[in-house]
Amino acid sequence: MCTSLIYRDASNRPYLGRTLELSVDLPYQVSFVPQQMAMSSKVGDQPALTWQNNHAFIAVTMPAAVPANGSPLDSTILKVVEGVNDAGLTFSVQAYSQAGGPQPGLKEDQIALSAADLGAYVLGNHATVADVKEALAALPVILERVPILGGLEMPFHYVVHDVSGASLVIEFHHGVRTLYDNPVGVMTNAPPFSWHLVNLNNYTFLSNVDRSTSQFMDYKAIAPGSGIAKAGLPASDNSVDRFIRAAYYAHYAEKQADPDKAVQMVAHIMNNFDRPRGITIDPPDVGSGHMQIEGHEGDAIPTEFTTWTSVTDLNRRHFYLRDSGGMRYVQIALNNIKDANKFRTLPMSALMSPVADVTEMF
């Protein structure tokens, strides 16, 4: 589940595309968190980490626990899954089942950050990947158990990108945190990020150049059409193969000069990672396990599908989103609302754009 990649346009400006796959549809919220808003993170009985946002941000969010009937969805319960702030810094959460493990010991009066609040902390406080690396170097981050995930220790890893194109992976592997510079801007899921980079060494033969003719003895072979260059790409939707395909598409897709065209290019790229329901299924006796979300039962035989896709223009602070119900993106221009001073959250489903009926034009 989850593929993210950075595409650079003809002027080297970065754009982020990401999909999120699950075996259930969840009631995601899209939340605006204003500058100067007071926020906090508390780990167990440790003193709370508090801050006042330096940056406004827009984010796809989910509650960490099932809300009580009638209780409001506010910034204390909603956790960032994907977002961008007014400095063009992005934050992405992606599944990583090997995250949990022994946590760092804390002194009685030591302040720590819950990993559930990592997105809000990063987007609310920082402008660059370098800022994030410096801040996290001295800050313990604890993988607490997540009620809505049945008490699992935060089974995720995290990706941060900035307007310079710098990328950072924050990964917990069996409880051990590592910060990786990400030279390809691509992220999927397990194995560890460092393994994916090593695995890229097995694909040095990849190219976007079609070799459409070849000679075999006295026979000249001619391909029936274009596209043979992609024959070497791995085909499955597992995280290892998706990493290779994402690196290929991000690198070779035509570099657009116009930002709107660049956004369209990323949308086309992400279509290659869109998974319809039923394309792969996981029967209990032979299939993979799936994340269980309290209050949201999946099918008896799960099928993992793309629940939503986002595209982020880091320079213009534009956030584009579509859900599994359609193929049209909606746009949120963060710069147009960044000075608003009130937290606001709306169901993702309420923002989606219906298919335009143009029948009357004929």
H, E, C per residue of 237-258: CCHHHHHHHHHHHHHHCCCCCC
CA distances from 33 to 26, 75, 158 (A): 21, 8, 20
Regarding predicted confidence, which is higher, 64 or 262?
262
Q: 267 is in which domain, residue-wise?
A: 3-191+259-353
Domain-located, residue 246? no
Residue 308, both tokens? 């939503």
Burial 123-141 (b: 16+ CB within 10 A, else e): bbbbbbbebbbeebeeebb
Q: What pLDDT score was predicted for residue 1? A: 75
Domain-located, residue 236? no
Domain-located, residue 335? yes
Taking only the tens place, the pLDDT of each residue in 256-288 is 999 999 999 999 999 999 999 999 998 988 878
Q: What is the mean pLDDT of residues 36-65?
A: 95
Domain-located, residue 176? yes
pLDDT at residue 70 greater than cutoff 70: no
Q: What pLDDT score was predicted for residue 67? A: 75
Cβ atoms of 190 and 238 closer than 8 Å: no
Q: What is the mean pLDDT of residues 16-45?
A: 95
Which DSSP helix (H) or strand (E) runs through 22? Answer: strand 14-22
DSSP-assigned beta bridge partners for residue 18 = 4, 310
Domain-located, residue 42? yes
- The pLDDT mean for the chain works out to 94
Quick one: pLDDT band at residue 352, thresholds 50, 70, 90? very high
Q: Which of 103, 256, 80 is nearest to 160 (CA)?
A: 80
Taking only the tens place, the pLDDT of each residue in 129-165 is 999 999 999 999 999 988 888 888 889 999 999 999 9
Q: Which of 165, 164, 168 is nearest to 179 (CA)?
A: 168
Q: How many CB atoms lie within 10 A of CB 66?
A: 14
Domain-located, residue 208? no
Q: d(Cα 159, Cα 17) in Å, to the nearest integer?
A: 12
Q: What is the mean pLDDT of residues 223-247?
A: 96
C-alpha angle 59-156-119 in degrees, rounded to nearest 5: 30
Q: What is the mean pLDDT of residues 33-58?
A: 96
Q: What CATH number does the domain containing 146 carry?
A: 3.60.60.10
Instruction: Give the range with max mean pLDDT: 139-153, 201-215, 287-301.
Output: 201-215
CA distances from 256 to 122, 162, 281, 328 (A): 30, 19, 37, 21
Q: d(Cα 330, Cα 336) in Å, to the nearest integer?
A: 15
Quick one: pLDDT band at residue 66, thresholds 50, 70, 90? confident
SS3 95: strand
Q: How many CB atoms lie within 10 A of CB 234?
A: 16
Domain-located, residue 239? no
C-alpha angle 238-27-341 in degrees, rounded to nearest 5: 115
Count of structural domains within the chain = 1
Question: Which pTM value belongs to this model?
Answer: 0.95
Q: d(Cα 273, Cα 241) in Å, to the nearest integer?
A: 11
Domain-located, residue 95? yes
